[in-house]
Amino acid sequence: MESQTRRARRPRVADSAGPAVRRRARVMQRPAAPAAYAAAPAADQLAAPAGELQQQPAAPAAELQQQPAAPAAVSCIDDCVERLWGRLTTRQRVNVRFRPRKLKVGTACSGTDSVMKVLARLQVATGWEFEHTFSCEFSETKRRWLTDNFPGVQHIFVDVTELHKGIALDAVSGRPVPVPPVDLFIAGFVCKSVSAENAQRAEFADCIARSSGLTGETFRGVQLFCQEFQPSIVICENVSGLVKRIGGSEPPIEAVEREFAAMGYSVGHEVLDSRHFLLPQRRTRCWIWAMRRVVAGSERCVLDVLSQLQQPTPTPLSEFLASAAAGPTDWVFFSGRAKLSEREMRVVEHARSHVARARPLQRLLDLVVDVSKSFGRAPSCVDASTCVLPNSRLYWQRENRVQG
């Protein structure tokens, strides 16, 4: 992996003496990998004959020794939390344990609420107590998932845009109930309006400021809830398109930060890739953190911790899946041998050629291609899964298998 430098956004800091100002943030660096790799063959040596998908030969031992060592794979959430917790310094861990407290947690548009599984394990490590006070999810299918997997949650609200009113429809009781306050609010407002995959993206350049489109409407719900209930900490997630310009307009993240700063929050954001946090999946997302003035100054600590938690070399997909298969579940992501259509074969061949031209030094690693997409637009990733969508059909070259 080539060494790259990413500059963290300068967090906005709300100040009682005037409007929001920008505080300089430290430059975050993507972990670098050694540059010593074996020489790569020509691009045409990578491609299999038309209509035939062959496995690539194993790398010679001498070449494998020159590649950067990856950390041992994890097999469950508990492993992930334990590994990441161990990357903090002793002083950081002691500081957390020295001030244990109870936090009420609310989530909105979070899908599976997997964050609550993480907090449950973190509770064991830190001594803190996290109470799952409420969830909020518009999709009935996802609400059923939450009910099945979090039977102890007190409320599952239906509409994030209703929360600020103080009374909202609760799917658990089937009637409107008071919305409880929380200390930690975690929300993933809709991404559709700002997504690079949206052909009408240009129409939503100012969706945050105007509360237009699904992105603007759901963010407005998050904003109004924070304004009314003032949780101490807010964490939001959205696609990386949030930090990209739409036409000649400013990136939507600028408007998001202004709104939080106007409510008295210190706010910052960073684009992170799940590949650098133990999960071999390319899922690049914009993470936003906002803290009230009572904890102002902590935004700098967020950048320091994020830098510490990132791993120098992503865990290879094959090792991760092998570890998961040996774990406590019988879950299998890639099933039987691939039976690709002629169109899907062309998609794979195009991805191979692209990797050979763009990243020839990584030719011996796994290649995953989403063959559900059209020729020339199908996402592919080396040694990790691409972002998995509901309609994805992933092809794993090393094992000649498909998602299923």
Summarize pLDDT for 310-338 with one digit per residue, the tens. Answer: 987 888 888 888 877 766 555 566 776 77
Pairing of strands 367-370, 284-292: unpaired
pLDDT in tens, 229-272: 999 999 999 999 999 998 888 999 999 999 999 999 999 999 99
User: What mean pLDDT comes out for the span 69-93?
Assistant: 82
Domain check: are 299 and 342 in the same one?
no
Whether residue 25 is contained in a domain is answered as no
User: What mean pLDDT comes out for the span 383-403?
Assistant: 86
Please report the sign of the dihedral spanned by the C-alpha atoms of residue 156, residue 159, residue 160, residue 166: negative
Say which CATH number the domain at 273 has. 3.40.50.150
What integer pLDDT is reported at residue 184 of this predicted model?
Answer: 96
In angstroms, the CA 104 to CA 180 distance is 9
C-beta atoms surrounding 128 within 10 Å: 16
- For the full predicted model, state whether its pTM sits above 0.85: no
Checking if the pLDDT of 193 tops 70, the result is: yes
What integer pLDDT is reported at residue 318 of this predicted model?
Answer: 84
Residue written as tokens 């009408």? Answer: 200
Domain check: are 128 and 250 in the same one?
yes
Q: Nearest to residue 379, comparing CAs of 367, 366, 365?
A: 367
What integer pLDDT is reported at residue 363 of this predicted model?
Answer: 55
Instruction: Give residue 373's domain range.
Output: 332-403
Q: How far is CA 178 from CA 85, 108, 389, in A?
A: 36, 16, 35
Whether residue 277 is contained in a domain is answered as yes
Q: How confident is the model at residue 228 (pLDDT cuts 50, 70, 90)?
A: very high
Count of structural domains, the chain: 2
Contact 28, 7 (CB under 8 A): yes
Domain check: are 304 and 392 in the same one?
no
In angstroms, the CA 121 to CA 323 distance is 19
Whether residue 282 is contained in a domain is answered as yes
Whether residue 109 is contained in a domain is answered as yes
Domain check: are 397 and 264 in the same one?
no
Identify the H or E element spanning 117: helix 114-126
Domain check: are 157 and 209 in the same one?
yes
Contact 79, 106 (CB under 8 A): no
Domain check: are 78 and 199 in the same one?
yes
Mean pLDDT: which of 54-63, 91-100, 173-182 is highest?
173-182
Whether residue 27 is contained in a domain is answered as no
Checking if the pLDDT of 296 tops 60, the result is: no
**Token pair listed for 147:** 């009910």
Domain check: are 211 and 347 in the same one?
no
Domain check: are 349 and 275 in the same one?
no
The C-alpha angle with vertex 372 and arms to 370 and 376, in degrees rounded to 5, equals 70
Whether residue 137 is contained in a domain is answered as yes
Q: How confident is the model at residue 198 (pLDDT cuts 50, 70, 90)?
A: confident
